[in-house]
Amino acid sequence: MSLEGVTVEVGGYLALSNVTFDVPAGTLMGVVGPNGAGKSTLFNAIAGLLPVLQGKVNLHRAGRESGGLAYVPQRESVNWRLPVTVMDVVMMGRCSRLGWFRRPGRRDREIVKACLGRVGLWDKRSALMTELSGGQRQRVFVGRALAQEASVLLLDEAFSGVDVAAQEALVEVLQSLRDEGRIVLLATHDLTNLAGRFDQVLCLNGHVCACGPPDQVFTSAVMEQMYGAHGVRFTTNGEL
Amino acid sequence: MVRALIGSVLVGVMCPLVGAYAVTRNLAFIGDALAHAVLPGIVLGYIVGIHPAIAAVPTGIAVALLVRAVSLRAGISSDTSIGILFATMFALGLVMLAKSTTIKVNIEDLLLGQILAITPTGIYVSLGITLMVILGLFTFHHWLLFASFDPLGAKVNSTRANAADYAFLVMLALVVVIGIQAAGIVLVMAMLVTPAATAYLLVRRFVSIMMTAAVLGTGAAITGLYVSYYFNLSAGPAMTLVASVIFLLVFSFRRRAPV
């Protein structure tokens, strides 16, 4: 996957300017930046939810219509009032394979079962989504992406409201997806959780401040670009 | 009375089935708006001499699609575009009604429903719409569930999610047309919302909510019909009050928080 000079405007405001980076297959990438840095905008542009003013998003085989791209939205974008079970949500991943008229068959149910096993939630299959913890909900959404057979996963603020142990469980699942050659992009505010877990970090603040391994990108200059003078206090020689 | 009974059962089943989506998607208001917005279609039907329910169908569908198009294009919230379109269309209907010299219909019958006067054509129209909506719900169920739960995730997954959203608005417009014949323009919202909200308090899963809502809606419609017949009341208010009493009873002994 690659972005070439992507510029996105939201409500007349330039949210992203000339964003360029490459993500090879089999990469777990963290996307960081302050509030309003354009992390969600970037994901929306990659997902085709926002028009790209200039530049190009190359998804190669993970195009939207092939079902190759899966999007896990922020918590507040989901309608929790709708009482759906864990099984229902993972089955949603099969929608693009079902088309309009086919009902889920034995194969779809087997795939859903395998995906739920993969994210460690088969025992919770009949639970309502509202009965799960934040970390478990995120894993259900990852299970849905697996059921969709997506090769690119976009997770927006996936660590938000998720405790450390649950974050660890989620990262383990994401690393296993990375090991299969999938691309996983995860937007987060938690900078300390990236080293040793993520392969690449994209530092964003309306533009790309830095892109590289997590133990190298957090230089004083990059932190200042992202967070202003306060950011410099948290870094020494590229490490937090 | 047999025709009224058939009409009531169709309203009792169909409005809550679609209403379950409207309630859980915070779209209850659009049902009320569509009911008001089809008035010009109904009046036009009387003027040109076709069954008002048939004339109301294209009006309802057009307004439902316009609501979405206006909110997307103008960048305003859907409840604002609903407010504008609903008031405009209802006002247009009232002006057409006032200026027409050929129409001999009582506005109260339109507002409160007149199921006891339903014609065989009205029943056939309702049956036809029922079949279309059931087929639509069956076809779009997975996509509607996906788009209702996670609109962004569904849109990224496929453009079918958008189509399912439009299909839902069309189905909503269709059941509103069936509902108006029984409950009238003002009270059709009660048949859309109240049985679905009651079911939400009773059962856990969404499909169970749809089925329970249909049973409760049918019970309320039939009971309301008989109450209106024996106490010489309009059917719409009677059905609404029965549905509301059921809701209040369930609410008093609820196991879940209200919608």
CB proximity under 8 Å: B 61-100 to A: 75
Name the range with the highest mean pLDDT among B29-33, B52-56, B136-140, B218-222: B218-222
A96 contacts on B by Cβ (under 8 Å) = 157-158, 160
Q: What ipTM is given for this predicted complex?
A: 0.83
Smallest Cα distance from B149 to chain A, Å = 5
A83 contacts on B by Cβ (under 8 Å) = 24, 200, 204-206, 209
Q: Which of A9, A44, A84 to mutate to test the interface with B (most CBs of B within 10 A)?
A: A84
Q: Which of B140, B148, B153 sits opposite A71 (nearest CB)?
A: B153
Q: Which of A71, A74, A77 to mutate to test the interface with B (most CBs of B within 10 A)?
A: A71
Tell if the CB–CB gap between B149 and A65 is shorter than 8 Å.
no
Predicted pLDDT at A236: 58
B211 contacts on A by Cβ (under 8 Å) = none
**Contact between residue A83 and residue A128 where contact means Cβ atoms under 8 Å apart:** yes
Band (B232; pLDDT cuts 50, 70, 90)? confident
CB proximity under 8 Å: A 98-117 to B: 98, 100-101, 104
Residues B79-109 have pLDDT tens digits of 788 888 888 988 998 898 888 887 777 777 7
- CA atoms of B234 and B118, how far apart (whole Å): 13
Residues A180-196 have pLDDT tens digits of 889 999 998 888 778 78
Residues A135-178 have pLDDT tens digits of 889 889 989 988 988 889 999 887 877 778 888 888 888 998 89
Band (B25; pLDDT cuts 50, 70, 90)? confident
**Contact between residue B71 and residue B80 where contact means Cβ atoms under 8 Å apart:** yes
Residues B61-74 have pLDDT tens digits of 888 888 877 777 77
pTM for the model stands at 0.83
Question: Is A43 an 8 Å CB contact of chain B?
Answer: no
Average pLDDT, chain B: 86
Q: Has residue B17 got a pLDDT over 50?
A: yes
Q: Has residue A67 got a pLDDT over 90?
A: no
**What number of C-beta contacts closer than 8 Å exist between A and B?**
101
A42 contacts on B by Cβ (under 8 Å) = none
Band (B149; pLDDT cuts 50, 70, 90)? very high
Band (A100; pLDDT cuts 50, 70, 90)? confident
- CA atoms of A34 and A38, how far apart (whole Å): 9
Q: How is A118-140 classified by DSSP, letter by letter?
A: HTT-GGGTTSBGGGS-HHHHHHH
Question: Is A164 an 8 Å CB contact of chain B?
Answer: no
Q: Which of A49, A98, A104 sits opposite B152 (nearest CB)?
A: A49
Torsion region of B184: left, alpha or beta (phi above 0 gives left; psi -120 to 50 gives alpha)? left
Predicted pLDDT at A62: 58
Predicted pLDDT at B45: 87
B197 contacts on A by Cβ (under 8 Å) = none
- CA atoms of B46 and B26, how far apart (whole Å): 33
Q: Has residue A238 got a pLDDT over 80?
A: no
Q: Has residue A30 got a pLDDT over 70?
A: yes
Distance, first Cα to last Cα, chain B: 35
Q: Has residue B212 got a pLDDT over 90?
A: yes
Band (B250; pLDDT cuts 50, 70, 90)? very high
A85 contacts on B by Cβ (under 8 Å) = 205
Predicted pLDDT at B259: 44
Residues 6 or more apart in contact with residue A71 via CB below 8 angstroms: A43, A47, A49, A154, A156, B152, B153, B156, B157
Q: Which of A83, A94, A141 sits opposite B209 (nearest CB)?
A: A83
Nearest residue of A to residue B201, measured between CA atoms: A83
For range B141-161, the mean pLDDT: 88
Smallest Cα distance from A207 to chain B, Å = 24
Residue written as token pair 């008989």: B226
For range B155-160, the mean pLDDT: 82
Question: Is B200 an 8 Å CB contact of chain A?
Answer: yes
Structure token pair of residue B19:
């209403």
For range A95-118, the mean pLDDT: 87
Q: Which of A10, A77, A80, A88 to mutate to test the interface with B (most CBs of B within 10 A)?
A: A88
Q: Which of A64, A88, A94 sits opposite B156 (nearest CB)?
A: A64
Sheet architecture: strand order including A152-156: A69-72, A152-156, A183-187, A27-32, A200-204, A208-212
Residues B118-132 have pLDDT tens digits of 788 888 888 998 999
Q: Has residue A211 got a pLDDT over 70?
A: yes
Q: Which residue has the higher pLDDT, A72 or A67?
A: A72
**Contact between residue B33 and residue B82 where contact means Cβ atoms under 8 Å apart:** yes
For range B187-210, the mean pLDDT: 91
Nearest residue of B to residue A142, measured between CA atoms: B153
Tell if the CB–CB gap between B150 and A49 is shorter than 8 Å.
no
Question: Is A240 an 8 Å CB contact of chain B?
Answer: no
Structure token pair of residue B192:
């859309």
- CA atoms of A238 and A124, how far apart (whole Å): 42
Q: Which residue has the higher pLDDT, B253 or A23?
A: A23
Q: Which of A75, A81, A109 to mutate to test the interface with B (most CBs of B within 10 A)?
A: A81
Q: Has residue B56 got a pLDDT over 80?
A: yes
Nearest residue of B to residue A77, measured between CA atoms: B150
Q: Has residue B186 got a pLDDT over 80?
A: no
Question: Is B24 an 8 Å CB contact of chain A?
Answer: yes
Q: Has residue A50 got a pLDDT over 50?
A: yes
Question: Is B257 an 8 Å CB contact of chain A?
Answer: no
Band (B258; pLDDT cuts 50, 70, 90)? very low
Residues A1-24 have pLDDT tens digits of 889 999 999 878 889 999 999 999
What are the E-state strand segments in chain B? none
For range B194-198, the mean pLDDT: 94
For range B178-187, the mean pLDDT: 81
Question: Is B259 an 8 Å CB contact of chain A?
Answer: yes
Band (A64; pLDDT cuts 50, 70, 90)? low
**Alpha-carbon dihedral angle through residues A59, A223, A162, A194, given to the nearest 10 degrees:** 70
